[in-house]
Chains A and B, each alone.
Chain A
Protein backbone atom coordinates (compact mmCIF):
# COMPACT_ATOMS: atom_id res chain seq x y z
CA UNK A 1 0.00 0.00 0.00
CA UNK A 2 1.32 3.46 -0.86
CA UNK A 3 1.95 5.96 1.94
CA UNK A 4 0.64 9.52 2.14
CA UNK A 5 3.26 12.24 1.87
CA UNK A 6 6.04 9.84 0.87
CA UNK A 7 8.33 10.38 -2.07
CA UNK A 8 9.03 7.44 -4.33
CA UNK A 9 12.03 7.27 -6.63
CA UNK A 10 12.65 5.16 -9.72
CA UNK A 11 16.13 3.69 -9.42
CA UNK A 12 16.32 3.22 -13.18
CA UNK A 13 15.41 6.62 -14.62
CA UNK A 14 15.46 8.86 -11.51
CA UNK A 15 11.82 9.94 -11.70
CA UNK A 16 10.39 10.98 -8.33
CA UNK A 17 6.71 10.84 -7.37
CA UNK A 18 5.00 12.33 -4.34
CA UNK A 19 1.98 10.52 -2.92
CA UNK A 20 -0.80 12.98 -2.14
CA UNK A 21 -3.49 10.33 -1.72
CA UNK A 22 -2.66 6.88 -0.43
CA UNK A 23 -4.20 3.77 -1.97
CA UNK A 24 -3.90 0.01 -2.26
CA UNK A 25 -1.38 0.07 -5.09
CA UNK A 26 2.33 0.80 -5.14
CA UNK A 27 3.86 3.18 -7.68
CA UNK A 28 6.11 1.63 -10.29
CA UNK A 29 8.26 2.96 -13.09
CA UNK A 30 10.46 1.36 -15.76
CA UNK A 31 8.74 -1.95 -14.92
CA UNK A 32 10.02 -1.88 -11.34
CA UNK A 33 8.51 -0.81 -8.01
CA UNK A 34 9.61 2.68 -7.03
CA UNK A 35 11.68 3.00 -3.85
CA UNK A 36 10.48 5.07 -0.89
CA UNK A 37 12.64 8.10 0.02
CA UNK A 38 13.22 9.06 3.63
CA UNK A 39 12.47 12.72 4.40
CA UNK A 40 15.42 14.81 5.56
CA UNK A 41 14.10 17.64 7.70
CA UNK A 42 16.34 20.66 8.26
CA UNK A 43 17.98 22.60 7.08
CA UNK A 44 16.92 24.60 4.06
CA UNK A 45 17.47 28.31 4.12
CA UNK A 46 13.78 29.15 4.59
Chain B
Protein backbone atom coordinates (compact mmCIF):
# COMPACT_ATOMS: atom_id res chain seq x y z
CA UNK B 1 0.00 0.00 0.00
CA UNK B 2 1.19 3.54 -0.67
CA UNK B 3 -0.20 6.97 0.16
CA UNK B 4 -1.91 7.38 -3.22
CA UNK B 5 -4.31 4.59 -2.19
CA UNK B 6 -5.65 6.78 0.63
CA UNK B 7 -7.55 8.98 -1.81
CA UNK B 8 -8.62 6.08 -4.03
CA UNK B 9 -10.10 4.25 -1.04
CA UNK B 10 -11.95 7.23 0.41
CA UNK B 11 -13.28 8.21 -3.03
CA UNK B 12 -14.75 4.69 -3.22
CA UNK B 13 -16.21 4.65 0.30
CA UNK B 14 -17.58 8.19 0.59
CA UNK B 15 -17.48 9.62 -2.97
CA UNK B 16 -19.96 12.46 -2.47
CA UNK B 17 -18.68 13.67 0.91
CA UNK B 18 -16.82 16.99 0.96
CA UNK B 19 -13.13 16.25 0.77
CA UNK B 20 -11.93 19.86 0.62
CA UNK B 21 -13.53 23.09 1.79
CA UNK B 22 -11.75 26.32 1.00
CA UNK B 23 -13.01 29.90 0.91
CA UNK B 24 -16.63 28.80 0.46
CA UNK B 25 -15.84 26.26 -2.28
CA UNK B 26 -16.50 22.56 -1.72
CA UNK B 27 -15.10 19.58 -3.56
CA UNK B 28 -16.05 15.93 -3.04
CA UNK B 29 -13.66 13.00 -2.62
CA UNK B 30 -14.71 11.70 -6.05
CA UNK B 31 -13.98 15.03 -7.74
CA UNK B 32 -10.67 15.43 -5.92
CA UNK B 33 -9.64 11.94 -7.00
CA UNK B 34 -10.62 12.68 -10.58
CA UNK B 35 -8.74 16.00 -10.66
CA UNK B 36 -5.65 14.35 -9.17
CA UNK B 37 -5.77 11.75 -11.96
CA UNK B 38 -6.20 14.43 -14.63
CA UNK B 39 -3.25 16.39 -13.29
CA UNK B 40 -1.12 13.24 -13.05
CA UNK B 41 -1.84 12.40 -16.70
CA UNK B 42 -1.11 15.98 -17.76
CA UNK B 43 2.19 16.00 -15.84
CA UNK B 44 3.11 12.67 -17.41
CA UNK B 45 2.51 14.36 -20.78
CA UNK B 46 5.12 16.95 -19.79
CA UNK B 47 7.61 14.17 -19.21
CA UNK B 48 7.32 13.98 -15.42
CA UNK B 49 7.85 10.42 -14.27
CA UNK B 50 9.22 8.21 -11.55
CA UNK B 51 11.67 9.88 -9.15
CA UNK B 52 11.40 13.27 -10.86
CA UNK B 53 11.29 16.19 -8.46
CA UNK B 54 8.31 18.56 -8.54
CA UNK B 55 8.37 21.50 -6.13
CA UNK B 56 5.46 23.63 -4.96
CA UNK B 57 5.50 27.12 -3.51
CA UNK B 58 2.07 28.07 -2.27
CA UNK B 59 -0.04 28.54 0.84
CA UNK B 60 -2.53 25.81 1.80
CA UNK B 61 -5.17 25.37 -0.91
CA UNK B 62 -7.07 22.50 -2.60
CA UNK B 63 -4.65 22.43 -5.55
CA UNK B 64 -1.80 21.67 -3.14
CA UNK B 65 -3.54 18.45 -2.13
CA UNK B 66 -4.51 17.49 -5.68
CA UNK B 67 -0.91 18.10 -6.71
CA UNK B 68 0.42 15.88 -3.92
CA UNK B 69 -1.66 12.92 -5.10
CA UNK B 70 -0.96 13.60 -8.79
CA UNK B 71 2.80 13.74 -8.24
CA UNK B 72 2.77 10.70 -5.96
CA UNK B 73 0.75 8.68 -8.46
CA UNK B 74 3.50 9.19 -11.02
CA UNK B 75 6.08 7.92 -8.54
CA UNK B 76 7.56 11.42 -8.62
CA UNK B 77 8.68 13.30 -5.49
CA UNK B 78 7.08 16.48 -4.18
CA UNK B 79 9.15 19.21 -2.58
CA UNK B 80 6.80 21.41 -0.52
CA UNK B 81 8.67 24.69 -0.15
CA UNK B 82 8.46 26.91 2.90
CA UNK B 83 6.73 30.04 1.59
CA UNK B 84 8.37 32.04 4.36
CA UNK B 85 11.86 31.04 3.23
CA UNK B 86 14.22 33.71 1.95
CA UNK B 87 15.03 33.82 -1.76
CA UNK B 88 18.54 32.45 -1.16
CA UNK B 89 17.11 29.48 0.74
CA UNK B 90 14.56 28.77 -1.99
CA UNK B 91 17.27 28.79 -4.66
CA UNK B 92 19.34 26.45 -2.50
CA UNK B 93 16.44 24.03 -1.88
CA UNK B 94 15.37 23.89 -5.53
CA UNK B 95 18.95 23.38 -6.69
CA UNK B 96 19.80 20.82 -4.02
CA UNK B 97 16.61 18.85 -4.76
CA UNK B 98 17.16 18.99 -8.53
CA UNK B 99 13.61 20.16 -9.23
CA UNK B 100 12.39 19.54 -12.77
CA UNK B 101 9.04 21.31 -12.40
CA UNK B 102 7.62 23.90 -10.09
CA UNK B 103 4.05 24.80 -9.17
CA UNK B 104 3.75 28.34 -7.92
CA UNK B 105 0.97 30.41 -6.36
CA UNK B 106 0.21 33.96 -7.52
CA UNK B 107 1.64 35.45 -4.30
CA UNK B 108 5.07 34.07 -5.16
CA UNK B 109 5.20 34.59 -8.93
CA UNK B 110 7.46 37.65 -8.73
CA UNK B 111 9.82 35.96 -6.25
CA UNK B 112 10.02 33.07 -8.65
CA UNK B 113 10.73 35.28 -11.67
CA UNK B 114 13.59 36.92 -9.77
CA UNK B 115 15.10 33.51 -9.03
CA UNK B 116 14.66 31.99 -12.49
CA UNK B 117 18.08 32.92 -13.92
CA UNK B 118 19.61 30.76 -11.18
CA UNK B 119 17.27 27.80 -11.69
CA UNK B 120 18.32 26.39 -15.03
CA UNK B 121 17.32 22.79 -14.21
CA UNK B 122 13.63 23.67 -13.96
CA UNK B 123 11.89 22.74 -17.20
CA UNK B 124 8.28 23.56 -16.38
CA UNK B 125 6.68 26.27 -14.27
CA UNK B 126 2.98 25.94 -13.54
CA UNK B 127 0.98 28.92 -12.28
CA UNK B 128 -1.55 27.54 -9.81
CA UNK B 129 -4.21 30.22 -9.50
CA UNK B 130 -3.51 32.88 -12.15
CA UNK B 131 -2.81 32.64 -15.83
CA UNK B 132 0.71 33.84 -16.68
CA UNK B 133 1.83 34.33 -20.28
CA UNK B 134 5.20 32.65 -19.74
CA UNK B 135 3.99 29.76 -17.58
CA UNK B 136 1.75 26.72 -17.85
CA UNK B 137 -1.72 27.09 -16.36
CA UNK B 138 -2.81 24.63 -13.65
CA UNK B 139 -6.48 24.57 -14.66
CA UNK B 140 -5.64 24.11 -18.32
CA UNK B 141 -3.48 21.13 -17.40
CA UNK B 142 -6.37 19.62 -15.43
CA UNK B 143 -8.70 20.13 -18.39
CA UNK B 144 -6.23 18.62 -20.83
CA UNK B 145 -5.38 15.51 -18.75
CA UNK B 146 -7.34 12.28 -19.04
CA UNK B 147 -9.36 11.16 -16.02
CA UNK B 148 -8.01 7.61 -16.24
CA UNK B 149 -6.42 6.08 -13.17
CA UNK B 150 -2.65 6.27 -13.24
CA UNK B 151 -0.83 3.06 -12.46
CA UNK B 152 2.84 3.36 -11.57
CA UNK B 153 4.98 0.74 -9.94
CA UNK B 154 5.53 2.39 -6.56
CA UNK B 155 7.48 0.51 -3.91
CA UNK B 156 6.63 0.97 -0.24
CA UNK B 157 10.10 2.37 0.37
CA UNK B 158 10.01 4.82 -2.51
CA UNK B 159 10.34 8.47 -1.53
CA UNK B 160 7.15 10.51 -1.89
CA UNK B 161 8.16 13.84 -0.37
CA UNK B 162 11.45 15.64 0.00
CA UNK B 163 10.88 18.05 2.84
CA UNK B 164 13.38 20.70 3.81
CA UNK B 165 13.80 21.36 7.47
CA UNK B 166 15.41 24.52 8.68
CA UNK B 167 14.84 23.68 12.32
CA UNK B 168 16.23 26.43 14.48
CA UNK B 169 19.78 26.46 13.14
CA UNK B 170 21.74 26.31 9.91
CA UNK B 171 21.03 25.66 6.24
CA UNK B 172 17.89 23.74 5.17
CA UNK B 173 18.40 19.97 5.11
CA UNK B 174 16.44 17.74 2.72
CA UNK B 175 14.58 14.91 4.44
CA UNK B 176 13.37 12.18 2.05
CA UNK B 177 10.08 10.78 3.37
CA UNK B 178 8.92 7.39 2.14
CA UNK B 179 5.40 6.16 1.39
CA UNK B 180 5.94 3.43 4.00
CA UNK B 181 6.57 6.02 6.72
CA UNK B 182 3.22 7.74 6.27
CA UNK B 183 1.38 4.45 5.62
CA UNK B 184 2.76 2.98 8.83
CA UNK B 185 1.60 5.97 10.88
CA UNK B 186 -1.80 6.31 9.26
CA UNK B 187 -2.74 2.62 9.38
CA UNK B 188 -1.68 2.37 13.03
CA UNK B 189 -3.47 5.50 14.19
CA UNK B 190 -6.37 6.38 11.92
CA UNK B 191 -9.54 4.46 11.17
CA UNK B 192 -10.37 4.27 7.47
CA UNK B 193 -13.19 6.25 5.91
CA UNK B 194 -16.59 5.11 7.07
CA UNK B 195 -19.91 5.90 5.40
CA UNK B 196 -21.43 6.52 8.86
CA UNK B 197 -18.81 8.64 10.58
CA UNK B 198 -18.18 12.19 9.42
CA UNK B 199 -15.44 14.35 10.85
CA UNK B 200 -14.24 17.77 9.81
CA UNK B 201 -10.61 18.72 10.25
CA UNK B 202 -9.51 22.36 10.16
CA UNK B 203 -6.01 22.53 8.70
CA UNK B 204 -4.02 25.68 9.36
CA UNK B 205 -0.58 24.13 9.77
CA UNK B 206 1.22 24.72 6.45
CA UNK B 207 1.52 21.75 4.12
CA UNK B 208 5.24 22.38 3.79
CA UNK B 209 5.50 21.28 7.43
CA UNK B 210 5.47 17.56 8.23
CA UNK B 211 2.63 18.02 10.75
CA UNK B 212 0.47 19.62 8.04
CA UNK B 213 1.25 16.89 5.53
CA UNK B 214 0.64 14.12 8.07
CA UNK B 215 -2.69 15.67 9.08
CA UNK B 216 -3.72 15.95 5.42
CA UNK B 217 -2.91 12.29 4.69
CA UNK B 218 -4.64 11.13 7.88
CA UNK B 219 -7.73 13.14 6.94
CA UNK B 220 -7.89 11.81 3.38
CA UNK B 221 -7.51 8.19 4.53
CA UNK B 222 -10.01 8.74 7.34
CA UNK B 223 -12.61 10.19 4.97
CA UNK B 224 -12.54 13.43 6.97
CA UNK B 225 -13.47 16.70 5.34
CA UNK B 226 -10.44 19.00 5.27
CA UNK B 227 -11.34 22.62 5.88
CA UNK B 228 -8.35 24.60 4.68
CA UNK B 229 -7.13 27.97 5.80
CA UNK B 230 -4.37 29.72 3.85
CA UNK B 231 -2.72 30.76 7.06
CA UNK B 232 -3.75 30.91 10.70
CA UNK B 233 -5.64 33.99 11.84
CA UNK B 234 -7.44 33.82 15.19
CA UNK B 235 -10.78 35.51 14.34
CA UNK B 236 -11.04 33.55 11.10
CA UNK B 237 -10.20 30.29 12.90
CA UNK B 238 -12.96 30.82 15.46
CA UNK B 239 -15.46 31.77 12.77
CA UNK B 240 -14.53 28.77 10.63
CA UNK B 241 -14.87 26.28 13.52
CA UNK B 242 -18.36 27.64 14.18
CA UNK B 243 -19.54 27.84 10.58
CA UNK B 244 -18.09 24.54 9.34
CA UNK B 245 -18.83 22.62 12.55
CA UNK B 246 -15.18 21.58 12.76
CA UNK B 247 -14.55 18.51 14.92
CA UNK B 248 -10.74 18.43 15.06
CA UNK B 249 -7.82 20.78 14.56
CA UNK B 250 -4.15 21.16 15.28
CA UNK B 251 -2.65 24.26 16.84
CA UNK B 252 0.83 25.22 17.92
CA UNK B 253 0.93 26.51 21.51
CA UNK B 254 1.06 30.19 20.53
CA UNK B 255 -2.07 29.77 18.39
CA UNK B 256 -3.93 27.98 21.19
CA UNK B 257 -3.13 30.87 23.52
CA UNK B 258 -4.43 33.40 20.96
CA UNK B 259 -7.63 31.36 20.57
CA UNK B 260 -8.51 31.07 24.25
CA UNK B 261 -7.52 34.68 25.01
CA UNK B 262 -9.48 36.12 22.07
CA UNK B 263 -12.42 38.40 22.97
CA UNK B 264 -14.67 36.39 20.58
CA UNK B 265 -13.80 33.04 22.18
CA UNK B 266 -16.81 33.00 24.50
CA UNK B 267 -19.15 34.36 21.82
CA UNK B 268 -18.38 31.61 19.28
CA UNK B 269 -20.14 28.26 19.22
CA UNK B 270 -17.25 25.79 19.37
CA UNK B 271 -19.38 22.89 20.55
CA UNK B 272 -18.51 20.80 17.47
CA UNK B 273 -14.81 20.62 18.50
CA UNK B 274 -13.88 17.16 19.75
CA UNK B 275 -10.10 16.84 19.34
CA UNK B 276 -7.39 19.48 19.57
CA UNK B 277 -3.84 18.39 18.88
CA UNK B 278 -0.94 20.58 19.82
CA UNK B 279 2.79 20.32 19.43
CA UNK B 280 5.80 21.65 17.48
CA UNK B 281 6.93 23.77 20.45
CA UNK B 282 6.78 23.48 24.25
CA UNK B 283 3.31 24.22 25.62
CA UNK B 284 3.26 26.71 28.51
CA UNK B 285 1.57 24.98 31.45
CA UNK B 286 -0.79 27.89 32.18
CA UNK B 287 -2.03 27.85 28.59
CA UNK B 288 -2.95 24.16 28.47
CA UNK B 289 -4.45 24.32 31.97
CA UNK B 290 -6.70 27.20 30.91
CA UNK B 291 -7.55 25.51 27.60
CA UNK B 292 -8.73 22.37 29.40
CA UNK B 293 -10.83 24.48 31.76
CA UNK B 294 -12.52 26.52 29.03
CA UNK B 295 -13.04 23.59 26.62
CA UNK B 296 -14.07 20.71 28.90
CA UNK B 297 -15.60 18.62 26.09
CA UNK B 298 -12.49 18.67 23.93
CA UNK B 299 -9.97 15.82 23.95
CA UNK B 300 -6.45 17.25 23.92
CA UNK B 301 -3.46 15.43 22.45
CA UNK B 302 0.14 16.55 22.65
CA UNK B 303 1.95 15.14 19.61
CA UNK B 304 5.74 15.15 19.45
CA UNK B 305 7.93 14.41 16.47
CA UNK B 306 10.11 15.96 13.83
CA UNK B 307 10.47 15.96 10.05
CA UNK B 308 13.15 13.27 10.26
CA UNK B 309 10.66 10.89 11.94
CA UNK B 310 7.80 11.63 9.50
CA UNK B 311 6.04 13.51 12.30
CA UNK B 312 4.53 12.09 15.50
CA UNK B 313 6.56 9.56 17.49
CA UNK B 314 5.16 10.12 20.98
CA UNK B 315 1.79 11.35 22.17
CA UNK B 316 0.30 12.50 25.45
CA UNK B 317 -3.27 11.31 25.06
CA UNK B 318 -6.65 12.67 26.10
CA UNK B 319 -6.69 10.57 29.29
CA UNK B 320 -3.56 12.41 30.44
CA UNK B 321 -5.37 15.72 30.10
CA UNK B 322 -8.10 14.73 32.55
CA UNK B 323 -6.87 16.01 35.90
CA UNK B 324 -8.84 13.93 38.38
CA UNK B 325 -8.12 11.49 41.23
CA UNK B 326 -6.39 11.56 44.59
CA UNK B 327 -3.76 14.19 45.45
CA UNK B 328 -0.87 11.93 44.31
CA UNK B 329 -2.52 11.19 40.98
CA UNK B 330 -3.39 14.85 40.42
CA UNK B 331 0.19 15.90 41.17
CA UNK B 332 1.59 13.30 38.78
CA UNK B 333 -0.86 14.28 36.04
CA UNK B 334 -0.13 17.99 36.44
CA UNK B 335 3.59 17.31 36.16
CA UNK B 336 3.02 15.26 33.01
CA UNK B 337 0.82 17.93 31.54
CA UNK B 338 3.48 20.56 32.19
CA UNK B 339 6.47 18.66 30.86
CA UNK B 340 5.73 15.31 29.23
CA UNK B 341 5.43 14.51 25.54
CA UNK B 342 3.74 11.22 26.40
CA UNK B 343 4.65 7.70 25.39
CA UNK B 344 6.01 6.32 22.10
CA UNK B 345 3.52 5.26 19.42
CA UNK B 346 3.44 1.53 18.62
CA UNK B 347 5.32 1.71 15.31
CA UNK B 348 8.44 3.43 16.63
CA UNK B 349 11.18 2.54 19.11
CA UNK B 350 12.29 5.38 21.35
CA UNK B 351 15.19 5.36 23.84
CA UNK B 352 17.09 7.87 25.95
CA UNK B 353 20.85 7.53 25.56
CA UNK B 354 24.09 9.04 26.82
CA UNK B 355 26.96 10.45 24.75
CA UNK B 356 28.22 6.93 23.94
CA UNK B 357 24.79 5.75 22.75
CA UNK B 358 24.10 3.63 25.86
CA UNK B 359 20.60 3.73 27.31
CA UNK B 360 20.55 5.81 30.52
CA UNK B 361 18.78 4.63 33.69
CA UNK B 362 15.17 5.70 34.19
CA UNK B 363 14.95 9.29 35.42
CA UNK B 364 18.33 10.36 34.03
CA UNK B 365 18.54 12.91 31.25
CA UNK B 366 19.95 11.90 27.86
CA UNK B 367 19.28 12.37 24.18
CA UNK B 368 16.03 11.05 22.70
CA UNK B 369 16.75 8.62 19.84
CA UNK B 370 14.23 6.90 17.57
CA UNK B 371 14.19 3.97 15.16
CA UNK B 372 11.53 2.34 13.00
CA UNK B 373 9.92 2.31 9.58
CA UNK B 374 9.04 5.99 9.73
CA UNK B 375 12.47 7.29 10.57
CA UNK B 376 14.38 8.70 7.59
CA UNK B 377 17.37 6.75 6.36
CA UNK B 378 19.44 9.88 5.78
CA UNK B 379 19.46 13.47 4.58
CA UNK B 380 19.18 14.10 0.85
CA UNK B 381 22.59 14.08 -0.79
CA UNK B 382 24.39 14.81 2.47
CA UNK B 383 26.31 11.87 3.91
CA UNK B 384 28.16 14.07 6.35
CA UNK B 385 25.05 15.42 8.05
CA UNK B 386 23.45 11.96 7.92
CA UNK B 387 26.41 10.48 9.78
CA UNK B 388 25.96 13.14 12.46
CA UNK B 389 22.40 12.07 13.27
CA UNK B 390 22.06 8.36 12.38
CA UNK B 391 24.28 5.92 14.23
CA UNK B 392 25.56 2.48 13.18
CA UNK B 393 22.49 0.74 14.64
CA UNK B 394 20.08 2.97 12.72
CA UNK B 395 19.02 5.17 15.65
CA UNK B 396 18.11 8.72 14.71
CA UNK B 397 19.55 11.17 17.23
CA UNK B 398 16.84 13.80 17.56
CA UNK B 399 19.06 16.31 19.45
CA UNK B 400 16.14 16.68 21.88
CA UNK B 401 17.09 15.90 25.45
CA UNK B 402 14.73 14.10 27.76
CA UNK B 403 14.14 11.54 30.47
CA UNK B 404 11.61 8.79 31.09
CA UNK B 405 9.53 8.06 34.21
CA UNK B 406 8.54 4.71 35.74
CA UNK B 407 5.45 4.46 33.52
CA UNK B 408 7.28 5.13 30.26
CA UNK B 409 6.29 8.79 29.87
CA UNK B 410 9.00 10.91 28.28
CA UNK B 411 9.79 14.42 29.53
CA UNK B 412 11.58 17.04 27.44
CA UNK B 413 14.70 18.71 28.81
CA UNK B 414 15.52 21.02 25.89
CA UNK B 415 17.50 20.84 22.68
CA UNK B 416 20.92 19.25 22.95
CA UNK B 417 22.47 22.38 21.46
CA UNK B 418 20.53 24.54 23.96
CA UNK B 419 21.55 22.54 27.06
CA UNK B 420 23.39 24.82 29.46
CA UNK B 421 26.60 23.44 30.97
CA UNK B 422 27.59 25.46 34.03
CA UNK B 423 30.77 24.33 35.72
CA UNK B 424 30.28 20.81 34.32
CA UNK B 425 26.67 20.58 35.51
CA UNK B 426 23.91 20.21 32.92
CA UNK B 427 21.05 22.67 33.29
CA UNK B 428 17.87 22.09 31.31
CA UNK B 429 16.57 25.44 29.99
CA UNK B 430 13.01 24.05 30.20
CA UNK B 431 13.37 23.44 33.93
CA UNK B 432 14.53 27.02 34.48
CA UNK B 433 11.81 28.41 32.20
CA UNK B 434 9.10 26.59 34.17
CA UNK B 435 10.23 28.21 37.40
CA UNK B 436 10.73 31.67 35.87
CA UNK B 437 7.25 31.51 34.28
CA UNK B 438 5.69 30.68 37.64
CA UNK B 439 6.42 34.29 38.69
CA UNK B 440 3.04 36.08 38.71
CA UNK B 441 4.29 39.07 36.71
CA UNK B 442 5.75 37.00 33.86
CA UNK B 443 3.89 36.22 30.66
CA UNK B 444 6.59 34.21 28.87
CA UNK B 445 10.28 33.42 29.20
CA UNK B 446 13.11 31.75 27.30
CA UNK B 447 16.33 30.70 28.99
CA UNK B 448 19.66 30.32 27.21
CA UNK B 449 23.25 29.62 28.20
CA UNK B 450 25.69 32.47 27.59
CA UNK B 451 29.50 32.35 27.81
CA UNK B 452 30.94 32.97 31.27
CA UNK B 453 34.68 33.23 31.97
CA UNK B 454 34.42 31.47 35.33
CA UNK B 455 31.73 28.81 34.84
CA UNK B 456 31.85 28.21 31.09
CA UNK B 457 28.17 29.11 30.73
CA UNK B 458 25.52 30.83 32.83
CA UNK B 459 21.73 30.74 32.40
CA UNK B 460 20.13 34.02 31.30
CA UNK B 461 16.37 34.57 31.10
CA UNK B 462 14.70 36.59 28.36
CA UNK B 463 11.40 37.65 29.86
CA UNK B 464 8.13 39.14 28.62
CA UNK B 465 6.19 40.77 31.45
CA UNK B 466 2.41 40.67 31.67
CA UNK B 467 0.67 43.82 30.46
CA UNK B 468 1.13 46.74 32.88
CA UNK B 469 3.61 44.92 35.14
CA UNK B 470 7.08 46.09 36.10
CA UNK B 471 9.82 44.05 37.72
CA UNK B 472 13.54 44.18 38.45
CA UNK B 473 16.24 41.71 37.47
CA UNK B 474 17.02 41.01 41.15
CA UNK B 475 13.37 40.30 41.94
CA UNK B 476 13.13 37.67 39.20
CA UNK B 477 16.41 35.99 40.10
CA UNK B 478 15.51 35.90 43.80
CA UNK B 479 12.13 34.32 43.04
CA UNK B 480 13.97 31.38 41.45
CA UNK B 481 16.59 30.87 44.17
CA UNK B 482 14.64 28.47 46.38
CA UNK B 483 13.56 26.09 43.60
CA UNK B 484 16.54 26.32 41.30
CA UNK B 485 19.56 26.95 43.51
CA UNK B 486 22.66 27.05 41.25
CA UNK B 487 20.49 26.63 38.17
CA UNK B 488 18.80 30.03 38.66
CA UNK B 489 19.32 32.65 35.93
CA UNK B 490 22.20 35.05 36.58
CA UNK B 491 20.78 37.83 34.43
CA UNK B 492 17.37 38.84 33.11
CA UNK B 493 16.67 40.64 29.85
CA UNK B 494 13.23 42.23 29.56
CA UNK B 495 11.86 42.03 26.01
CA UNK B 496 8.62 42.81 24.16
CA UNK B 497 8.65 39.57 22.14
CA UNK B 498 10.74 36.46 21.53
CA UNK B 499 12.15 35.57 18.10
CA UNK B 500 10.37 32.46 16.79
CA UNK B 501 10.39 30.27 13.70
CA UNK B 502 7.09 29.90 11.80
CA UNK B 503 6.03 26.97 14.00
CA UNK B 504 6.46 29.00 17.16
CA UNK B 505 9.78 27.59 18.35
CA UNK B 506 11.93 30.18 20.07
CA UNK B 507 15.16 30.85 18.16
CA UNK B 508 17.57 30.48 21.04
CA UNK B 509 20.65 30.87 18.89
CA UNK B 510 19.43 34.38 18.09
CA UNK B 511 18.93 35.14 21.80
CA UNK B 512 22.45 33.94 22.65
CA UNK B 513 23.88 36.15 19.93
CA UNK B 514 21.76 39.09 21.08
CA UNK B 515 23.06 38.73 24.64
CA UNK B 516 26.68 38.50 23.54
CA UNK B 517 26.21 41.67 21.43
CA UNK B 518 24.58 43.47 24.35
CA UNK B 519 27.43 42.53 26.67
CA UNK B 520 30.12 43.99 24.41
Contacts and interface: CB of A to CB of B under 8 A. Distances in A.
Interface of A: 4-7, 18, 20-21, 39-46
13 contacts: A5-B192, A20-B12, A21-B12, A39-B192, A42-B248, A43-B248, A43-B274, A43-B301, A44-B191, A45-B312, A45-B315, A46-B190, A46-B250
B215 interface: yes
Interface centre among B13, B14, B197, B199 (most CB of A within 10 A): B13
Contacts of B507: none
Given A4-B13, A44-B218, A46-B214, A18 B192 contact: yes
A6 B199 CA distance: 17
Contacts of A41: 191, 194, 197, 199
B339 interface: no
A45 B303 CA distance: 7
B3 interface: no
B189 interface: yes
Assign chain B's interface to a size class.
20 to 34
A39 B214 contact: no
What is the predominant secondary structure among interface residues of chain A facing chain B? loop
B13 A42 contact: no
Contact of B13 (A5, A40, A43, A44): A5
Interface in B200-255: 201, 214-215, 218-219, 222-223, 248, 250
B275 interface: yes
A22 to B, nearest CB: 10
Contacts of B192: 5, 7, 18, 39
A46 to B, nearest CB: 4
A24 B195 CA distance: 18
A20 B194 contact: no
Given A42-B275, A43-B274, A45-B315, A5 B201 contact: no
A5 B317 contact: no
B193 interface: yes
Contacts of A21: 12
Nearest to B214: A46
Interface string B170-205: 000000000000000000011111111101010000
A18 to B, nearest CB: 5
Given A20-B9, A20-B12, A39 B196 contact: yes
Given A5-B14, A5-B195, A18-B9, A42 B299 contact: yes
B318 interface: yes
A5 B17 CA distance: 13
Interface in B244-269: 248, 250
Nearest to A6: B194
B377 interface: no
Interface string B316-343: 0110000000000000000000000000
